[in-house]
Structure 1
Amino acid sequence: MAEHGWLFWALTSAVFAALTAIFAKVGLQGIDSDFATFIRTLVIVAALALFLSYSGKWQNPATLSVKNWGFLVLSGLATGASWLAYFKALQLGDASKVAPVDKFSLVLVALMAVIFLKERPSAQEWLGIVFVASGVLLLALRR
């Protein structure tokens, strides 16, 4: 089970990502999507601060390397841009269409992991990636 511990957390992430889309779609009614993203971010910062305090997981930021800082900052900027785009898409479109297109990131992650991280998916994994891409297109282009 320990070797598949990531699967529990990945499935948990998927459940909360689904709830994010539903809650956000309802919460975006009548307000600017960028302001809504700001409110969401404040909630996340507060929740994480409480979690880190409760679990005793605070670390001294000075112990992080320049590489840690650089890539975490880039990740944060990418996350912020993703959230802004996601909330705008949710405000303009149906959650049942926006969420699958957002999950096209799965295909992009696989491709970028091959290019930048030198990962090598198996033939079965490539087939799954093709299925995900096909599914995204089918869901996004439906009338």
Structure 2
Amino acid sequence: MPLWIPITVFAALCQNIRTTMQQKIRGVLSVDGANFVRYLYGAPLALGALTFLVLGTGRHVPSLSASFLLLVTIAGIAQIVATSLMIHAFSLRNFAVGTVYSKTETVFVALFATFIAHEPLKLGAWTGILICLGGVAILSVRGSFANIRSVLADLTHKGALYGILSGAIFAIAAGTIREASKLLPDGDFMIRGITVLACMNTIQVVLMAAYLARRDRPQLGKVWVNWRSSVWVGIFSVLGSAGWALAMTLENAALVRAVGQIELVFTFISSHVVLKERPSAGEWIGSILIIGGVVLILLFR
């Protein structure tokens, strides 16, 4: 099995945990505040991981070009904007609408890879992506096909529009992370992936801190006061982001993000293991579609 596959599954699991925790702290933080904590508490961990790789394993930080820094900055800004839009989509309508439309990211990433990065996908992989998206839609409404119709029919609602926009901008972030890693001239995938992450997270902390200081200064204090809950968002965020960065260093970003749709299956499993609920037939169908789509992607990548 290619190494990028288990790394992607791990990243999806961490992202699932981080998103759930991020939703919980929305009770005390604004959209931007909840977004900021993932970078504030994640950046030191990313820098620490880079330091360990350099001092503990004898690796060297690759040479950083101006083009690399530009791409990393674009990726960082895109991730900030997309995350804020996604959280805002959740608050405007509900979690299902935000999730369904933000997951259109996989289609946008595939288009980016095909027409901009010149890493086109085979027909089987495209089919797998669309099947995964169908499974995501079903799981997002807890298997209710009637609710799927209402969610998909309400394209003009702000929640849907914000979700689609977040998916498109997440695709820019994923594509530029992949392109930035390709610009690093030396080092193995580990040092290149963590270098991308450490640079991006550091830029994100500086930009978001400056933004909040100017537009919503009280949030900076609230982030510190609520550090016990916020720090876990940062930990799982950096673990997930490290997984995405490492996987995208090894493989086409479109394939990585498509396989990452397995995240919704983790949500399905955890909700029923923890809450002891009986899965509906629709939820089983959604899970099978996502897993089947992932299998198609891996077979025809």
TM-score (norm 1): 0.75
Matched with 1:82 is 240
Structure 1 residue 131: Cα displacement: 1.4
Aligned to 2:167: 14
Larger Rg: 1 or 2? 2
User: Within 2, Cα distance between the matches of 1:6 and 1:129?
Assistant: 24
| Counterpart position of 2:3 | none
Does the 8 Å CA contact 1:100/1:140 hold for their aligned counterparts?
A: no
What does residue range 99-114 of structure 1 map to in structure 2 within 5 Å? 99-114=257-272
Residue in 1 that maps onto 2:93: 3
Runs of 4+ in 1 over 6 A off after TM superposition: 118-121
Alpha-carbon contact 1:98-1:140 (below 8 Å) kept: no
Aligned residue in 1 for 2:21: none
> Residue 216 of structure 2 aligns with which residue?
56
Q: State the distance in 1 between where 2:201 and 2:261 align.
A: 20
- What's the counterpart of residue 94 of structure 1? 252
Q: After superposition, give the CA deviation of every residue in 1:91-133 in whole Å (9 maximum; x if it has no partner).
A: 1112221111122212212322333466776543442232122
Amino acid at match of 1:28: S
- 1:38 alignment counterpart: 198
Following TM superposition, by how much is the alpha carbon of 1:45 offset from its aligned partner in structure 2, in angstroms?
Answer: 1.4
Q: Distance in 2 between matches of 1:73 and 1:50?
A: 20
Question: Structure 2: 5+ residue runs without aligned partners?
Answer: 1-91, 95-157, 185-191
CA distance in 1, matches of 2:165, 2:215: 19
Please identify, of 33-42 and 118-127, the stretch whose mean Cα deviation from structure 2 is larger: 118-127
Number of equivalent positions: 138
Q: Summarize the Cα distance change of 1:126–1:34 in structure 2 as closer, same or farther, 3 Å threshold.
A: same
Provide the rounded CA distance (Å) in 2 between the counterparts of 1:98 and 1:50: 32
| Equivalent residue letter for 2:298 | A
Cα 1:50–1:122 shift into 2, 3 Å:
farther
**For residues 16 and 111 of structure 1, do their structure 2 counterparts lie closer, same or farther at Cα, with a shift above 3 Å needed?**
farther
Spell out, residue by residue over 1:2-33, the C-alpha distance to the aligned partner (whole angstroms, 9 max, x if none): 53565444333322221122111111124311
Contact 1:104 1:133 in 2 (8 A): yes
Q: Which residue of 2 aligns with 1:73?
A: 231
Contact residue 268 and residue 283 of structure 2 kept, 8 A? no
The percentage of aligned residue pairs carrying the same residue is: 23
2:93 counterpart SS class: helix
Match for 1:114: what amino acid? Answer: H
> In 1, distance between residues paired with 2:240 and 2:171?
15
Structure 1 segments unaligned to the other structure (5+ residues): none
Q: Distance in 2 between matches of 1:51 and 1:113?
A: 36
Find out whether 1:25 has 2:175 as its counterpart: no
